[in-house]
Amino acid sequence: MLCCVLLQQQETLLSVKIEKVGLKDALKLVDSYWVVSVKDSVGLDVTPIQQTPSCGLCSELYITFNTTVHIQKSLESLPHNWVIFFELKHPREKKGDTVKCWAMLEREELPRGESERVKDVVLELYKKPTNFKRKKLQLLTSKELYLHVQLIKQ
């Protein structure tokens, strides 16, 4: 994971704390981790791709991460239609690491105004493969299981 970036005056940095993810087979996903990328409207990277450490606690329905990712550009310097993608990966025998599911955070979900600096957000989980162009999305499950993140504007 990368640390905070240097900002010019009047620029805003976004940090995303990945708290937990709800999955019906959470106990099976040992050593899972997130790959976080910021893409433009055609799916091209606009910041370096980051990877979190492996998960901490697993329970029957949740994997807890409690790890923070710092977006490597100010919000003002990102293209207008940017999206942050979260891909949950885990190792599989003889196949290497594979995507279990993914989620996305759009600009509209950010905290609004100067007074709101921190916001808890719940993101829907989608079936693999990751669709960086955001076309024909398929939810992972009909159950109410989500990715829980906290957005921090600095």
Please tell me the chain's helix, strand, coil percentages from 3-state DSSP, rounded to the nearest 5.
5, 45, 50
**Residue whose entry in the numeric block shows the structure tokens 């007074």:** 115
pTM for the full predicted model: 0.91
Instruction: Answer for the pair 61, 145: CB distance below 8 angstroms, yes or no.
Output: yes
Confidence category of residue 29, pLDDT binned at 50, 70, 90: confident
Per residue in 30-50, is it b (16+ CB within 10 Å) or e — as a string?
eebbbbbbbbeeeeeebbeeb
Q: At residue 31, what is the residue type?
A: D
Whole-number Å distance between alpha carbons of 18 and 14: 13
The predicted-structure confidence for 56-79, as pLDDT tens digits, reads as follows: 788 889 999 999 999 999 999 999
> Which pLDDT band, with edges at 50, 70 and 90, does 6 fall under?
low
